[in-house]
Amino acid sequence: SATFDVMRLRQDFPVLAREVHGKPLIYLDNAATSQTPQQVIDVFSDYYSRYNANIHRGLHTLADEATAAFEGTRQRVKGFLNAEDARQIIFTRGTTEAINLVVNSWGRTNLAPGDEVLISMLEHHSNIVPWQLLAAEIGFTIKVIPVEATGALDMAAYRELLSERTKLVAVNHVSNALGTVNPVQEMAAHAHQQGALILVDGAQAAPHQVVDVQAIDADFYAFSGHKVYGPTGVGVLYGKHALLETMPPWQGGGEMISTVSFDVGTTFAAIPHKFEAGTPAIAEVIALGRALEWMESTGIAAIGAWEGQLLNHATQAVGNIDGLRILGTAPNKAAVLSFIVEGAHSQDIGLLIDQLGVAIRTGHHCAQPLLHHFGVDATCRASFAAYNTLEEVDRFVEALQRVIGMVR
């Protein structure tokens, strides 16, 4: 769009000025992790040089400042997700830990043999393996929502799978491997009709679109800081208030208690602190707040619209490459282009294109069941962010053509 000034916002990202193998970096591995604007990088030196202190303890100025900044991010995340209340925002190490929290707290107390959890074929391993670990212990059943040839979820099959045995549906909002955007609002409505809950893995949605947990009616929603222009080591779990209130803690320690006693037992803090044992990643949480502020001031809908242009441009351009097959052709897609090339190993393409300065991902993208379903072990994946340009897409496609010429 005319108002989206990509050249100006690129200046916020120091890494984009670097070269790789003597070539200007073209960073197209944003679904793995996004690059970080200077405003977010600055939070770390500011925090450690001015107000490094443990939060929620100690009545001194530095502790007050650190606590205020930390809790300020909670307020910002509340707005970012349109949560009802900041107490519904729990800080974790990332999406993976957020899902493990739900599995080990809600799952362990609510699932029994005979119960079913529906997981989609599109899931990242982090929304599969924690459920499998608990299922092996407890003996509930995991059922898989299939995908169509386009990589869209088979919604008719989903509705068939839902039954009174279904206790929870675990689905990503956007697939990291294919880019499919799932109709999570519709899926939530169907789940709720059957009395089941829905956990939405938003790791790949939060970077690209406005998320409204109330509109979706998600029971749980998770995302990671490092994919929304923030740091690693921090993520978020949103949960419905009444659920979080009844769920037991899953990790014990400081910060999460009300009183501790050897004689009369221990009582726990109110939410969200009940789920935040130990000293959290304080600087990272504060920096996450700054990253979300960066996204909001850039315009989240504008970012998504720009990435849509990049994706369309890339999809059209690679369409001319002989023997290239795109995986994931659902009508509703986020900024991910996953493909394989006849006669060329994905790994070789990835290594050679890196020599030309282009960073893409090759492999199974932590979604082995999905790739096996499509009969492949690996794909190449280019994924876009706010700071990518149409020229970069063109240079990526040129580089890809050169590399294919070399390996075929």
Catalytic residue among 234, 356, 366, 367: 366
176 forms part of the interface with ligand PMP (CB under 6 A): yes
By CB under 6 A, which span of 89-97, 142-150, 192-200, 280-288 interacts with ligand PMP? 89-97
Q: For 329, phi and psi rounded to 5 degrees? A: -130, 25
**Which of 30, 120, 180, 204 forms a contact with ligand PMP (CB under 6 A)?**
204
By CB under 6 A, which span of 93-101, 105-113, 243-251, 343-351 interacts with ligand PMP? 93-101
**Which of 67, 73, 104, 172 forms a contact with ligand PMP (CB under 6 A)?**
172
By CB under 6 A, which span of 200-208, 253-261, 280-288, 376-384 interacts with ligand PMP? 200-208
By CB under 6 A, which span of 17-25, 77-85, 122-130, 297-305 interacts with ligand PMP? 122-130
| Closer Cβ to ligand PMP, 235 or 272, answer by number | 235
| Closer Cβ to ligand PMP, 126 or 209, answer by number | 126
Count of residues engaged in binding ligand PMP, rule: CB under 6 A? 14
| Closer Cβ to ligand PMP, 51 or 80, answer by number | 80
Taking each helix axis from N to C end, the angle separating 282-298 and 61-81, rounded to the nearest 10 degrees, works out to 40
Distance of CA 294 to the CA centre of its chain: 17
Rounded CA separation 71/56 (Å): 10
Q: How far is the CB of 72 from ligand PMP (least distance, A)?
A: 22
Q: Do the strands 235-239 and 89-92 form a parallel or antiparallel pair, or are they unpaired?
A: antiparallel
203 forms part of the interface with ligand PMP (CB under 6 A): yes
| Closer Cβ to ligand PMP, 226 or 403, answer by number | 226
Q: Give the x-and-dash track for 250-289 against ligand PMP (CB under 6 A).
A: ----------------------------------------
Q: For 274, phi and psi rounded to 5 degrees? A: -55, -30
| Closer Cβ to ligand PMP, 37 or 235, answer by number | 235
Rounded CA separation 24/1 (Å): 25
**Which of 124, 190, 333, 361 forms a contact with ligand PMP (CB under 6 A)?**
124
Is 383 within 8 Å of 336 (Cβ atoms)? yes
Q: How far is the CB of 286 from ligand PMP (least distance, A)?
A: 18
**Which of 95, 182, 338, 379 forms a contact with ligand PMP (CB under 6 A)?**
95
Q: In what order do the strands lie in the sheet with 116-120?
A: 89-92, 235-239, 220-224, 197-201, 166-172, 116-120, 141-145
**Which of 100, 104, 120, 224 forms a contact with ligand PMP (CB under 6 A)?**
224
> How many C-beta neighbours within 10 Å does residue 214 have?
11
Cα-atom radius of gyration of the chain, to the nearest Å?
22
Q: Which of residues 329-368 bind ligand PMP (CB under 6 A)?
A: 366
| Closer Cβ to ligand PMP, 142 or 324, answer by number | 142
Residue 247: both structure tokens together: 């769920």
96 forms part of the interface with ligand PMP (CB under 6 A): yes
Q: Which neighbouring-strand residues pair with 142?
A: 117
| Closer Cβ to ligand PMP, 51 or 384, answer by number | 384
| Closer Cβ to ligand PMP, 165 or 364, answer by number | 364
Q: How far is the CB of 189 from ligand PMP (least distance, A)?
A: 22
Rounded CA separation 305/296 (Å): 14
Residue 343: both structure tokens together: 């006669």
201 forms part of the interface with ligand PMP (CB under 6 A): yes
Whether 366 is catalytic: yes
Catalytic machinery residues: 366
Binding site for ligand PMP (CB under 6 A): 94-96, 124, 126-127, 172, 176, 201, 203-204, 224, 235, 366
